[in-house]
Chains A and B, each alone.
Chain A
Amino acid sequence: MTETTVDNGVNVEALLGARAALQETPEAAKFTWRATNTWVKGTHSKSKVEGFFGLGEEQEAGRSFESDGDHPPQFAADNQGPTPVETVLVALGGCLTAGVAAVAQQRGIQLNSVTATIEGDRDIRGILGADADVRNGFTGVRVNYSIDADASPEDVEALVAQSQKRSAVFDILTNPTAVSVSVS
């Protein structure tokens, strides 16, 4: 029997170890994620992500990421970055693809390439206040994966299904979340 090593670059042992440990210490599993956002001009703002709270303490080392948010010229804006709704699609794709890689690693499936197209439909009369019956957010989101992997089509489908089941952003988009906004 030949031993083949599957390597998708995911440390599954560490993740499974964390899962086992956190079942015993649920407090350590409580994380708070954070971003700051600063207005620049018009609809352009800059967001920054650095520390987060998790595993019982502040975690700050070695992280600082910035991103821009704006709107395209069709919205009479300066086009300095993706729209916030596109950033949501980016988040969904990033989350699901990370899940595909992790699940594939755990199931011993070698991935060769993974590409996703994420589309969200909106009726912008909602945000423009043009029709009170139209929702602001997406009316539907579609994701399509093209995956080249050493596995059967059924196993690939199961990977994508399991990734959705374990995805934070999929959950965030499909289930209601209480949001509170305050001014200080």
Chain B
Amino acid sequence: MSVPSRRTTVAVIGAGHSGLAVSHRLGAEGIDHVVLERGQVAHSWRTQRWDSLRLLTPGWMNRLPGLADPLLGPAEADEFLTAAQVASLVAGYADVIAAPVHDNVEVYRVSPGQNGFLVETSAGPWTAEHVVLATGSVRGVVPTLAADLPPGLPSVHAIDYRRPSRLPPGGVLVVGAAASGVQIAAELQASGRQVTLAVGEHVRVPRRYRGRDIFAWIEEAGILDERWDELEDVTRARRLSSFQLVGGTTTLDLNTLQEAGVRVVGKLAGLRDGSALFSGSLANLAALADLKANRLLSGIDQTFGGTGERLEPTRVPEPLLSLSLTSGEIGSVVWATGIKPDHGFLDADVFDHKGAIRHHGGITDLPGLYVTGLPVLRRRRSTYIDGARDDSADLVEHLSQHLATPARRTAG
């Protein structure tokens, strides 16, 4: 005996900004759909962000299709929303566009079948002609060597970190120097703890350049609109760590962190006999990041004329190659080592050998299956909330041209 399944033309999985933008486009095309959400709208913004986090991107980059400007705050202001404000923005957006969200519905399994897809959920099964995966990057990644941490040493991934007082007493080893790592390191050091920051490959940019926010320049230079299929190495672009930035007007980099007292060490390369071993490659990684940052600034000058100040070279401290994790100096470890999507519920042959979903600008090899809300999905802008506008338009255009029958559309 089986439970009769409900039918829909499109099942959108995930009610974050990406899934909702797709929902808005589908609604505008009169395409019948549902948005299935494991928790509440903007779930990960409510449950997987630390208290002090602000967006890296200024307020004018919070554009969403079908949402009037007033919900966003002044479009020109360099205003950086907190996680709670993003959750409110996205929840307000769901209301404004009247998205057909089914909340607290967990998707157990999505599998291709005779007539589209079977979507098995905690609220029973659905059949859908098309499925759009919009679950975002919700899984904290830790390196395999994390298993070798000394027993009893507490560790937490950045998505589960909330505030300094939640960590046990003592110094903190923060692993990773992308946006999360440098922000958490700064906050912990300011709270009176000695932070050691392990730095691998990172992307340094100044918060402001020639009197403007860096994203204003990147936007005007057209960099955010560079398409995925025109990039020299899209695989690399997609796995590049986030800009070393904090929302606001101040620059946060390895120099400012060292001025605040943070001890900067190389990439965490191993754990042996209770000690962390750090790579001796820090000087080169700092040099690579400095060169790349200055190339960006030179490119801005060439595009717009004029010149600005180049970045002060990253100060590389005397190398520290190992640190005991059992002496009591280090009381906890924070993994700021990235986030990835979790498409484990998808039962279909669409994954590459590294377990990532194979797609061409969000269109998978399985007809009817789409993915969105991933870094550099269709353009560099896709990495940010601001990417949902164009990505949703492109994907829904593709989808609408592949409807089984126009009759699947409703009157809207």
Contacts and interface: CB of A to CB of B under 8 A. Distances in A.
Interface of A: 23, 26, 140, 154, 157-158, 161-162, 164-165, 170-171, 173-176
The 6 closest A-B pairs by CB, nearest first: A174-B280, A175-B269, A176-B270, A164-B284, A174-B281, A161-B288
Binding site secondary structure of chain A: helix
A157 B291 contact: yes
Interface in B252-280: 266-267, 269-270, 272, 277, 279-280
Nearest to A26: B353
B287 A157 contact: yes
A160 to B, nearest CB: 8
A86 to B, nearest CB: 19
Contacts of B272: 176
A175 B278 CA distance: 7
Interface in B283-308: 284-285, 287-288, 291, 294-295
Given A164-B281, A170-B281, A176 B269 contact: yes
Contacts of A174: 266, 269, 279-281
Given A173-B280, A174-B279, A176-B277, A165 B288 contact: yes
- Best-buried of A23, A164, A173, A175 by chain B (most CB within 10 Å): A175
Task: Tell me the interface secondary structure of chain B in the complex.
Answer: mixed
A161 B291 contact: yes
**Most central of B201, B267, B284 by chain A CB within 10 Å:** B284
A140 B321 CA distance: 11
A170 B284 CA distance: 10
Given A161-B284, A176-B270, 4 more contacts: A23-B235, A161-B287, A164-B284, A171-B281
A157 B287 CA distance: 9
Contact of A165 (B277, B280, B284, B294): B284
Contacts of A173: 280
Nearest to A177: B270
A163 B336 CA distance: 27
Contacts of A162: 288
A173 B319 CA distance: 14
Contacts of B295: 154, 158
Contacts of A161: 284, 287-288, 291
A157 B272 CA distance: 34
Contacts of A158: 288, 291, 295
B291 A175 contact: no
A115 to B, nearest CB: 19
A182 to B, nearest CB: 20
Contacts of A23: 235
Given A26-B353, A154-B294, A175 B287 contact: no
Nearest to B283: A164
B279 A175 contact: yes
Nearest to B201: A165
Contacts of B201: 165
B198 to A, nearest CB: 13
A154 B281 CA distance: 20
Given A158-B291, A161-B291, A175 B281 contact: yes
A176 B319 CA distance: 15
A162 B201 CA distance: 12
A157 B288 CA distance: 9
Nearest to B289: A161
Contacts of B266: 174
Nearest to A138: B280
Contacts of B291: 154, 157-158, 161
A154 B294 CA distance: 9
B333 to A, nearest CB: 18
A171 B284 CA distance: 11
12 contacts: A23-B235, A161-B284, A161-B288, A165-B201, A165-B285, A170-B281, A174-B279, A175-B270, A175-B281, A176-B269, A176-B272, A176-B277
A83 to B, nearest CB: 21
